[in-house]
A and B are shown apart, each in its own frame.
Chain A
Amino acid sequence: MKIKQISLFLENKPGHLNTICRKLANSNINIVTLSLADTQQFGIVRLIVKDWERAKSVLEEAGHVVNVRDVIAAQVKDVPGGMADIIDAVGAVGVNIEYMYAFSFRKDQDAVLVFRFDDADKAIVELEKIGAKILTSQALFE
């Protein structure tokens, strides 16, 4: 029920993000979504791609530090309150959100929320209780 996210260390220099995108493009890897977290000195790029293993090796060969993590992608109705319901549910049992980002899902005209929780398994139980649809990578990429 989890999907793979790859993240990269990013030096805060002009052109650095572009080289990453270019590398993936040259290897014909499409970025489903990405999020950027940055400070003054460095950043973290988090990417969802279909072929994450190939993306990882392409980027590592280019000299990047890459980390792979399971994240949870919840599909919600793209309507007011769609996200609030989810956050309420996990907040009620004391699960913390390390980070999240969102994108709209072409297939069903829905939104997808990507989460890293501090307790992923507990979060899944709660999300299932309120009937949230948790995407498998198969559902996400088919």
Chain B
Amino acid sequence: MNTIPVVENRIWQPEFECMERSQLEALQVSRLKEAVARCSTLPFYKEKFKEQGITPDSINSLADLRKLPFTLKADLRDNYPLGFLAIPKSQVSRYQGTSGTTGKPTWTAYSASDVERWADLCARFLVSGGLTPEMTVQISFGFGLFTGGFGLHNGIQRVGAGIIPLSSGNSARQVMTMQDLQPEVLICTPSYALKLMDDILKGDIERSSIALQHAHFGGEPWTEEMRERIESGLGIRCWNNYGMAECGGPGIAGECAYRNGMHIQEDQYIFEVIDPDTLEPVAPGEKGEIVVTPLCREAFPILRYRTRDIGIIYDDGDCPCGRTTRRMSRILGRTDDMLIVRGVNVFPSQIETALMQIKDVSPHYMIEVTRPKALDEITVYIEMEPEFFSDSMREMQEIKQRIDTAIFGTTGLHMKIELVNPNTLERFEGKARRVKDLRKLVD
């Protein structure tokens, strides 16, 4: 565990974040009772509760959480648009949603006090990640239904810092704004940060003309190696936080100054880690699917939401920052973007980790899965960089060999490595979509 903070150790709401553990758990139980009461007004839960004889009085300890039903993304879709709305529409303060790839968004709603609490949740990770009221923040998340834009906006406002609501896209304008308004903090997806880093480092831009000190990333999983790459490339600190629209958006967990994983905001959320096949809890410290139960959400309550995110809740003791809350790992993958190739489970993040281990390898890559004959084949496309191009075929083969060895090291699979010309792979302004699974089309 890290015992040296990377920035000053600051805590936004110590009354909750550093609560004595037994008090915290008592608060969780009483809030869970209230959450169950709110849910019992919704047809979706009413029916399930009735079948299983559940009432708010069924909840008397944290262990009772396991009596409650899981909720799936499909349940939200089946109850489209607002089947989980538990307050009168006249009292809804905000709607947000996920940009559904299938056409319709998944909606979520907030009461006025939900919005207030959310602002504090965002303030918690922003402050522990270096934000002070004197700073200026450039928000390069899209402003719209995506919870990232307005969620972070509210959090920054709560801290009292300045906001540039630039939204995503137009990277020339992004960099120009960094030079002209001198923000110290950048908020975007990690893939967009990579693109901006490219533009800054490869363009005629003096690093000293930009004041950036911190970046807070969200919207997609990323890796520790990606963090090192961007931190050393831009000379900034990059911070991780966690959340999903279905449970209220960003701020559900976030890193502290010691960066020992992300502190879960346990006064407002209960986390479980389960085996996605058996639905049983995994052993402490083991990897599994994260299940989230928001405790305070009034407008859109949901119980035991199966996030499909794979992660770990650490079981290695208290963090030196003084918070008493448990910590989670970064997201290691998704149960549903997990590729099963030749019987091996592969997460794209494992391939990314391998690539980032090799010096000078381009951070721009794509993964393609095909089934040319009976066997699945993964091809990793990597852009050529001047730093690792050689006129010697032997050296080029060595580089490919090194990439292959690194990927084999993290995934246990040999993949096809295709080197391509620079700037030919797709760039992403929002969430990166680096995996193309073409197996269905080939079948």
B385–A65 touching, CB < 8 Å: yes
B423–A63 touching, CB < 8 Å: yes
B422–A63 touching, CB < 8 Å: yes
State how many angstroms separate the Cβ of B243 from the closest Cβ of chain A.
Answer: 39
Residues of A contacting B421 in the complex (Cβ-Cβ under 8 angstroms): 9, 11, 63-65
The residue of chain B having its C-beta at the shortest distance from the C-beta of A12 within the complex is B418
A33-84 CB contacts (< 8 Å) to partner B: 37, 39, 41-42, 44, 46, 63-67, 69
Residues of A contacting B7 in the complex (Cβ-Cβ under 8 angstroms): none
The residue of chain A having its C-beta at the shortest distance from the C-beta of B400 within the complex is A41
Partner pick for B391 among A39, A41, A42, A46, CB 8 A cutoff: A46
Number of A-B contacts (CB under 8 A): 49
B393–A116 touching, CB < 8 Å: no
B422–A65 touching, CB < 8 Å: yes
A7–B420 touching, CB < 8 Å: no
Interface size on A, residues (CB 8 A): 19
A67–B390 touching, CB < 8 Å: yes
Q: Is B396 an interface residue (CB 8 A)?
A: yes
With A9-B421, A11-B421 known to touch, is A69 a contact of B391 (CB < 8 Å)?
yes
Residues of B contacting A42 in the complex (Cβ-Cβ under 8 angstroms): 396, 418-419
Q: Is A98 an interface residue (CB 8 A)?
A: yes
Q: Is B394 an interface residue (CB 8 A)?
A: yes
Interface size on B, residues (CB 8 A): 19
Interface majority SS (helix, strand, loop, mixed), chain A: strand
CA distance in complex: A3, B393 (Å): 20
State how many angstroms separate the Cβ of B388 from the closest Cβ of chain A.
Answer: 9
B419–A41 touching, CB < 8 Å: yes
Q: Mark B394-432, 1 if CB is under 8 A from A, else 0.
A: 101100000000000000000001111111100000000
B396–A44 touching, CB < 8 Å: yes
B389–A67 touching, CB < 8 Å: yes
Partner pick for A39 among B385, B389, B392, B393, CB 8 A cutoff: B393
With A41-B419, A63-B421, A63-B423 known to touch, is A9 a contact of B394 (CB < 8 Å)?
no
CA distance in complex: A64, B383 (Å): 11
B350-375 CB contacts (< 8 Å) to partner A: none
CA distance in complex: A63, B393 (Å): 21
B393–A9 touching, CB < 8 Å: no
State how many angstroms separate the Cβ of B101 from the closest Cβ of chain A.
Answer: 30
- 30 inter-chain pairs at a CB distance below 8 angstroms, sorted by A residue, are A5-B391, A7-B391, A9-B384, A9-B389, A9-B419, A11-B419, A11-B420, A11-B421, A39-B397, A41-B417, A41-B418, A42-B396, A42-B419, A44-B390, A44-B396, A63-B422, A63-B424, A65-B384, A65-B385, A65-B421, A66-B386, A67-B386, A67-B389, A67-B390, A67-B391, A98-B392, A98-B394, A99-B391, A116-B391, A116-B392
Measuring CB to CB, which residues of chain A are less than 8 angstroms from any residue of chain B?
A: 5, 7, 9, 11, 37, 39, 41-42, 44, 46, 63-67, 69, 98-99, 116
Measuring CB to CB, which residues of chain B are less than 8 angstroms from any residue of chain A?
A: 384-386, 389-394, 396-397, 417-424
